[in-house]
Amino acid sequence: MTVKDLIQALELKVFSGEQGLENEIQGGYTSDLLSDVMGHCNQNDVWVTLQTHRNIMAIASLRDLAAIVIVKDLEPEPEAINKSNQENIPILGTALGAFEISGKIYELLKKKV
Amino acid sequence: MTFTYEIEGGNFSRAGTASSDIKKALKQLDLDYTIIKRVVVSLYEAEVNIVAHARRGTLTADIDPDRIVMVLDDQGPGIPDIDAAMTAGFSTASSRVREMGFGAGMGLPNIKKNADSLNIQSTVGVGTRLEIVVNF
Ligand SMILES: Nc1ncnc2c1ncn2[C@@H]1O[C@H](COP(=O)(O)OP(=O)(O)O)[C@@H](O)[C@H]1O
Ligand SMILES: [Mg+2]
């Protein structure tokens, strides 16, 4: 499943990183603790979080994530948006909370794999 | 190849710059992805610790044909009890740092888990020195 497929299926908002919409998603990780994500995510995961500062992009880029989904209608900070555009890792948004959106992503990924 | 970086305490917007450059250099070397991942995780955590806990520091990374040796030397408060600091969940991070999602007390355990060797020396009131080795 590509990031674009995910956006279409779950009506996600695209904040940035449009060049990365064809990134392939292979799994997902949900956490707001950066060290937890750093240590336990997998390459090509989509990351669900409420963090919005630029360090989320450092993690996403260092760990080669497919995209980030920011929950609860929160908005990424401008520095995160810039980095997302540079690295071609999309930052997406949803009104839902982490529990609900993670459940939906999980269902979609389970079907595709 | 040797890389040297200055790391500024408190400056979270630059945290991860050194890790990102080292990752780029390693990608030229045709290494296993897992090796690159282990370097990146341990170096990022060590970098963030200087930003979060110390005043300033330097990173020296030596990339050899068979391994990378990363030495992070900082001037800062030091670590009074290294065994306690190594315990998962132990953190003295400020509330500001915690709100950003840092300060979960998982940094040093992450380094330990991903490095082939980790050596910590610290003097309270002076600073901390980490030597992290990942074999290729
Ligand atoms: N470079 C450092 N200088 C001073 N104290 C440090 C340093 N690195 C780690 N520490 C201490 O060790 C604790 C645990 O570190 P770590 O496992 O990375 O967790 P965290 O950084 O999330 O608190 C820190 O909270 C801090 O008290
Ligand atoms: Mg830490």
Measuring CA to CA, how many Å separate A88 from each of A55, A65, A81, A83, A111?
Answer: 15, 10, 10, 8, 26
B65 touches chain A (CB under 8 A): no
Question: Long-range CB contacts (< 8 A, 24+ apart) of A3-7?
Answer: A3/A46, A3/A66, A3/A67, A3/A90, A3/A92, A6/A46, A6/A67, A6/A92, A6/A105, A6/A108, A7/A92
B107 touches chain A (CB under 8 A): yes
pLDDT at A112: 72
B49 touches chain A (CB under 8 A): no
Q: How many CB pairs under 8 A join A and B?
A: 58
Say if the Cβ atoms of B100 and A32 lie within 8 Å: no
Per-residue pLDDT of B8-35, as tens digits, reads 999 999 999 999 999 999 999 989 999 9
Give residue A92's pLDDT band: very low, low, confident or very high (50, 70, 90).
very high
Q: Taking the model in full, what pTM does it have? A: 0.96
Residue nearest to atom 4 of ligand 1 (CA): B78
pLDDT at A18: 98
Check if B43 has its Cβ closer than 6 Å to any atom of ligand 1: no
Q: What domains are defined for chain A?
A: 3-112 (3.40.1390.20)
A38 touches chain B (CB under 8 A): yes
ipTM metric: 0.94
Other Cβ atoms within 10 Å of B2 Cβ, number: 9
Q: How large is the average pLDDT for residues A2-15?
A: 98
pLDDT at A113: 58
Q: How large is the average pLDDT for residues B64-74?
A: 97
The one-character DSSP state at B81 is: -
Residues of B in contact with A33 (CB under 8 A): 101, 104, 106
The one-character DSSP state at B134 is: E
Closest residue in B to A52 (Cα–Cα) = B100
- Lowest mean pLDDT, pick from A42-46, A59-63, B99-103: B99-103
**Which architecture, in CATH terms, is B2-135?**
2-Layer Sandwich (3.30)
Say if the Cβ atoms of A55 and B44 lie within 8 Å: no
